Chains A and B, each alone.
Chain A
Amino acid sequence: MKQGRAKMPVEVKGVIALRKALNAYAPDLAKELTGEITKSLKVIQKDARGFVPNKAPAGLYNWEFNPNRKLTAKNSMFRTFAPEGERVRFFPLYNATEIKRGIVYRTGYGKPNARGFRSLFRVKNMSAAGAIYETAGRKNPAGDPASKSNNPNAGARFVQQGALYGRKRDGQDMRGRLLFRAWDQDEGKQTTAIFKAIDVVNAKFNKRTTVSSSQAIA
């Protein structure tokens, strides 16, 4: 078992307040903090993008995006229909460029989740195909015979061709092939770097906003 892994996400207090204060009273420090956080997030982002294969895993017929092939509802195996029969959208095809583009980072805090927590800094895998490649086979690593899919063994094929990295913990399945793999391999280094940056900026801000006795007398 690897040592030194940080529990994810780490709960912190006062960062939102600190960033608000920085924006209001020390925009340069706010910029500095965002810059430092961005550096760390970019490391994860770059690693995750590096794990995106150029070609889709084998055995998944026609999943690979082909710009020369015109995809229609009739010829697509990966078509999706709403219950009423109206087509909603095509099944997302594997396109390495698209997936890489969909791996992004965000430094603004998001909406609170069901438990009242707001994410402060995050890396996201936003594309649909990227999400499939990231998580396929987590639920049914040996395939799902009961599935009504055209390819019930797709899960097994994914797992065979690309192992899942990370682990399940605290009710969260944090296994994957792109983001979670990059995160797993980083072993919490970036989290540490981010908190160090927060501490540094916080100290600077406190120093700036604290009036020393000599200044106060002057």
Chain B
Amino acid sequence: MSNILISLAAEFTGKKAFKDADSATKKLTNNVKKLAGAVGLAYGTSAIIAYGKASVKAFVQDDNAARSLGVTLKNLGLETGNTSIYINDLISRMEKQTGVLDDELRPAMDRLLRATGSITKAQDLLGLALDISAGTGKDLTSVTQALQKAYLGNTASLSKLGVGLSKAELTASSFQAIQKKLTVLFAGQASSAAASYSGQLNKLTIASNNVKEAIGAGIVDALGTLSDDDTISNLTTNMENLAIYVADVIRGFGLMASALKNIPGISGFDVGMIPILGTYIKVLQDAGAQSRRITEVAQGKNPIQGGSYLNFTKKVTALTKEQTAAELKKLAAKKLSLAIDKANLALGKGKDLFDNEAISLNAAMINQAQQLGQTQNAAAAAMIIADMQRLKIKQDIIALEDAIASKDTARIEAATKILNADIGILGALTGQNNKVIDIKSILDSMKSTDLINLANLEAALALLAKFKFPTLSMPSSGDTTTKPNPFVGQPILDKLTGKESIDAILEYSDAVTTLANVMADTLDAQNYADFLSLVEYQKKLGDFGGYSKTMNQGAGYGAGGVVVTIVDNTSGLIEVVQNAVIENNRNGNSTQYAGAI
């Protein structure tokens, strides 16, 4: 395919170019190292920084591998509390004995554990794998993979290792038989290899690696202490700073040690030999060692060897108890605080709705009630009742404030509930449409039952009994006398003095309502009586044909109606006009001009 194209823009993304640059840098680094070696220069700070980084890396890798193995044990149900510690110790011993790094041993063990599900079998197979690896020169990973597959029934990969067993043998034999043969074939290979020069060098490497891991763990702990946060940039900066300080201190110690060596009679160097400063350094070292042990115990690496494990456990238990007590205390305080918060919220609501003016002008409210008695206005009654409800809310608020002061949660909650209920009633009151009957139902809930007793009802009935309907009579035609007021002589409620109780006012408003309703009924009755009188009166009207249902609608007034006759009395005039026209025509005074029709 052709590759004719125009690229309008391109972005450098690395890959090959970056790889080239990377390899070039590596080459440069190697050359610089060689150069440094040749001229006998020490790397100083940068080398220590690099070592520090490598140490941290080694520690992290080791830590991850150990964790992974621990998770596998847990998943397989093999973890009994100390199993991972046992396995780690085993690997540590194997590492030292065989010269194979734990970085290889842990994954190998992990793999075999997953395949066999048994620690004993996995341990045996790992030993065999180490022998085969040493005997064949294959890496431990490949050998372990082959053994894992063979254990699970696939012996093909085992034949590829060149272990000296034919395909037929491998296919025909069981894994136990194969294992037995291999154990015989490769017996002692690992220990022999470990004893060799190469093995010794490997052990040296392992020791170096372990040192690296130990230093890495120390650095990570120290950085954890130094760093306030966990950002990578801070971590790396701290790491470099720490390494620089360490490097400088090491240099200082180097100078000091060389100076001490020159003192006659001193053959070796010990920190404790340095006056005063040595003591401080010893204290620091002890503190560091203690911190390391605590970390190890906390991680459950080896609690028994930790020494202070029991003390640590006791401390942890005591601390846990203290924490629990503190948590409970906190919880109680939180509960109280929550109740107070709720109460404050309700108080806030109450204050919002509460009309201070309505309270302070209680007397004015009573006056309004008196006006209500006079004006018969239901809307005014509703307003008064709403104000009374506000008064009740004010009382609730005071009660709630008292409850808060007493710090009694139950009382606060009860007072809050009452306040909320009364606020709800006020909402209903202010939202209603001046319906006396509705207000009454709400008032009923507010009143005590003794207000609605028989005595009150009898009194109301007595008032009604006193009321007399007026005798209705139709005025005669042309009667211009004033119609008598039907309400004259009706009972009038006494005015309120302003000293009545709320209950009395409520009773009073009930009486007013009753009276208003009675008056309305009276008016209705009178209107109906007037209508009947009018009908009777009309029936008596005989001049216009008597009473009819439609007489008041305009069509029933008289049967004949009015007839208008137009009488033509103008025939003489026409004749005169005609004669005049004829005469004019005769005399040549035509009234018709030429061309007219």
Q: Least Cβ distance of B264 to chain A in Å?
A: 65
CA gap between A183 and B2 in the complex, in Å: 18
Verify if B15 is at the interface (C-beta below 8 Å from A): yes
Residues of B within 8 A of A135 (CB): 4
Q: Least Cβ distance of A15 to chain B in Å?
A: 6
Residues of B within 8 A of A131 (CB): 2, 4
Verify if A51 is at the interface (C-beta below 8 Å from B): no
Residue from B6, B12, B13 in contact with A123 in the complex, judged by beta carbons closer than 8 Å: B6
Q: Least Cβ distance of A41 to chain B in Å?
A: 7
Q: Least Cβ distance of B4 to chain A in Å?
A: 4
B1-26 to A contact mask, C-beta < 8 Å, 1/0: 11011111111111111100000000
Assess whether A190 is in contact with B5, with CB atoms less than 8 Å apart: no
Segment from A74-82, A111-119, A149-157, A210-218 that makes contact with B: A111-119
CA gap between A120 and B11 in the complex, in Å: 7
CA gap between A41 and B13 in the complex, in Å: 23
Q: A15-B9, A112-B14, A116-B13 are in contact. List 11 more A-B contacts (CB 8 A).
A: A12-B9, A16-B13, A117-B12, A118-B10, A122-B7, A125-B4, A125-B5, A134-B4, A179-B6, A190-B8, A191-B9
Knowing A125-B2, A125-B4, A176-B4, say if A115 contacts B16 (CB, 8 Å). yes
Residues of A within 8 A of B16 (CB): 112, 114-116
Assess whether A115 is in contact with B2, with CB atoms less than 8 Å apart: no
Assess whether A11 is in contact with B11, with CB atoms less than 8 Å apart: yes
User: Can you list 14 A-B contacts with CB-CB less than 8 angstroms, sorted by A residue number?
Assistant: A9-B9, A11-B12, A12-B9, A41-B8, A112-B13, A117-B12, A120-B8, A121-B9, A123-B5, A130-B4, A131-B2, A179-B4, A180-B6, A191-B8
Assess whether A122 is in contact with B18, with CB atoms less than 8 Å apart: no
Residues of B within 8 A of A195 (CB): 9
Which residues 354-394 in B have Cβ within 8 Å of A in the complex? Answer: none
Assess whether A117 is in contact with B4, with CB atoms less than 8 Å apart: no
Number of A positions contacting B (CB below 8 A): 42
Q: Least Cβ distance of B6 to chain A in Å?
A: 5
Q: Please name the residue on chain B nearest to A182 by beta carbon.
A: B6
For the complex of A and B, list the 4 residue pairs with the smallest distance between their C-beta atoms, beginning with the closest.
Answer: A116-B17, A131-B2, A119-B7, A125-B4
Residues of A within 8 A of B12 (CB): 11, 13, 116-118
CA gap between A134 and B2 in the complex, in Å: 11
CA gap between A126 and B14 in the complex, in Å: 27
Verify if A167 is at the interface (C-beta below 8 Å from B): no
Residue from B1, B6, B13, B15 in contact with A8 in the complex, judged by beta carbons closer than 8 Å: B6
Number of B positions contacting A (CB below 8 A): 17
**Which of A16, A41, A119, A128 counts the most B-chain CB atoms under 10 A from its CB?**
A119
Knowing A126-B1, A126-B2, say if A117 contacts B13 (CB, 8 Å). yes
Which residues 1-56 in B have Cβ within 8 Å of A in the complex? Answer: 1-2, 4-18
Verify if A124 is at the interface (C-beta below 8 Å from B): yes
Residues of B within 8 A of A119 (CB): 5, 7, 9-10
Residues of B within 8 A of A122 (CB): 5-8
Assess whether B4 is in contact with A120, with CB atoms less than 8 Å apart: no
Q: Least Cβ distance of B23 to chain A in Å?
A: 13
Assess whether A12 is in contact with B11, with CB atoms less than 8 Å apart: yes
Assess whether B1 is in contact with A44, with CB atoms less than 8 Å apart: no
Assess whether B7 is in contact with A9, with CB atoms less than 8 Å apart: yes
Knowing A112-B16, A126-B1, say if A120 contacts B9 (CB, 8 Å). yes
Q: Least Cβ distance of B556 to chain A in Å?
A: 80
**Which of B7, B8, B12, B18 counts the most A-chain CB atoms under 10 A from its CB?**
B8
Q: Least Cβ distance of A53 to chain B in Å?
A: 17
Residues of B within 8 A of A128 (CB): 1-2
Verify if A24 is at the interface (C-beta below 8 Å from B): no
Residues of B within 8 A of A191 (CB): 8-9
Q: Least Cβ distance of A113 to chain B in Å?
A: 8
Assess whether A118 is in contact with B2, with CB atoms less than 8 Å apart: no
Assess whether A179 is in contact with B11, with CB atoms less than 8 Å apart: no
Verify if A1 is at the interface (C-beta below 8 Å from B): no
Verify if A164 is at the interface (C-beta below 8 Å from B): no
Verify if A10 is at the interface (C-beta below 8 Å from B): yes
Assess whether B7 is in contact with A179, with CB atoms less than 8 Å apart: no
Residues of B within 8 A of A201 (CB): none
Q: Least Cβ distance of A135 to chain B in Å?
A: 7
